[in-house]
Copies of this chain bind each other. A is one copy, B any other.
């Protein structure tokens, strides 16, 4: 993500354990959700990593809680979340946090 914005802003920390299988459909949906989220006013960026143990962490960043709420209520997102719960995740944790401080090794640069 870019580091061009200053705290405070908001982070949605989504930690999940993927089930095995259905990688293609999951990957397609994840990519589509990312493109949709980018269109929500107040979206700032996203970072995502998943290791070979299938544990993944995705952090999305938002200017306001209202922007997070808009994304939470998007019909396509609601549908994807339902698939996630039934098919794609063994378990997940979702946290909403206010970012108060940010430090970067590449000021002003996009990774």
Contacts and interface: CB of A to CB of B under 8 A. Distances in A.
Interface of A: 1, 3, 7, 11, 13, 15, 17, 47-51, 55-59, 85, 89, 91-106, 109, 111
Given A47-B57, A49-B57, A50-B51, A96 B105 contact: no
B59 A57 contact: yes
Interface of A is mostly: strand
A97 B93 CA distance: 16
A74 to B, nearest CB: 17
Given A13-B13, A111-B17, A103 B93 contact: yes
A70 to B, nearest CB: 16
B47 A55 contact: yes
A15 B92 contact: no
Nearest to A84: B105
Contacts of A47: 15, 55, 57
Contacts of A55: 47-49, 111
